[in-house]
Structure 1
Amino acid sequence: MVMATEFNFELVSPERLLVSGSVSEVVIPATEGEMTVMANHAPTMTTIKPGIVTVKFADGKKDRYVVFGGFADIVPTGCTLLAESAVHVDDFKSEDIVRRIEAARAELNHAKSDDQKFGIETYLAELTTLQGIVVPA
């Protein structure tokens, strides 16, 4: 029996379908930490935090996308990542992340509960980390 080494991957944002095809590996920024998805992965559903999705296609080509949260549905034959917002790393605009950080800071000032504050602070930390990865110093 030959083990499948490829699986179908789709990266979908509200604006458009960014990736749909056969891949050998996808690294996603799951909320619990970076996760590498390969063929025959155990069925899993996970939330995604702001970060980089690295896609390794069946032909060996690699591509990277910036995502701002969402969730991934993983089954042995495929993975669908529904992103809140996603863009190819080459099309990424640093103003976008700056705008999101400013919006999150403003939201933090109006947070009513500790849980709400914690959620916003966590998101801010994730955005700041992502900014350090994608935006050249």
Structure 2
Amino acid sequence: MMTGRTFHLEIVTPKKVLYASEVQSFRVPGYVGSFQILYNHTPLLSLITVGELKIVDADGNDIRFATSGGFVDVKDNTVMLLAETAERADEIDVPRAQVAYDKSKRRLVEKRFETDVERTRLALERARNRLKVASRAGKVPTGSS
């Protein structure tokens, strides 16, 4: 365990606290690109977008989450990420994510008048992200992008 160079991280959704522990680093998907938070990071409040959360825990292990957005608050070596949704990579239901991806893609191709295009694009982006994060964690081969 690395001593003195860790900070406290909490990942919270409206339903529950998903993660709370000391970590070495935390990478989040910002609107203009991902950024990394380390020990003694300057105070920050930022929106995040659909993407991957990557944690290096106090023991040096990589932990990944898929998120659909939210915001992150950094202050005094404490980081709070409030996410609309977040799912640990090793808990992603890959077949369900693939069905959501295929359904959203099909709806965009069909271009039916009742389709809410923006909502469908967002659903496609979230499903693609879940599959990508699961793949990076070794759960599935890439191929749905």
TM-score, with length taken from structure 2: 0.70
Contact 2:100 2:124 in 1 (8 A): no
The answer to whether structure 1 residue 99 and structure 2 residue 93 are counterparts is no
- Residue 79 of structure 1, CA deviation: 0.8
Note closer, same or farther for the CA distance 1:86–1:131 as it changes in structure 2 (3 Å cut). Answer: closer
Q: Distance in 1 between matches of 2:77 and 2:90?
A: 29
Note closer, same or farther for the CA distance 1:90–1:42 as it changes in structure 2 (3 Å cut). Answer: same
Quote the RMSD (CA, aligned, Å): 3.0
* Higher fraction of strand: 1
**In the alignment, what sits opposite 1:75?**
75
Question: Unaligned stretches of 5+ in structure 1?
Answer: 112-116
The answer to whether structure 1 residue 57 and structure 2 residue 57 are counterparts is yes
Question: Unaligned stretches of 5+ in structure 2?
Answer: none
- Residue 98 of structure 1, CA deviation: 4.7
Instruction: Show CA shifts across 1:29-69 (max 9, x none).
Output: 12221110011111111111111111111121221111111
**In the alignment, what sits opposite 1:66?**
66
- Residue 128 of structure 1, CA deviation: 6.1
Contact 1:55 1:62 in 2 (8 A): yes
Q: Secondary structure at the match of 1:63?
A: strand
Q: Secondary structure at the match of 2:129?
A: helix
TM-score, with length taken from structure 1: 0.73
Q: Secondary structure at the match of 1:127?
A: helix
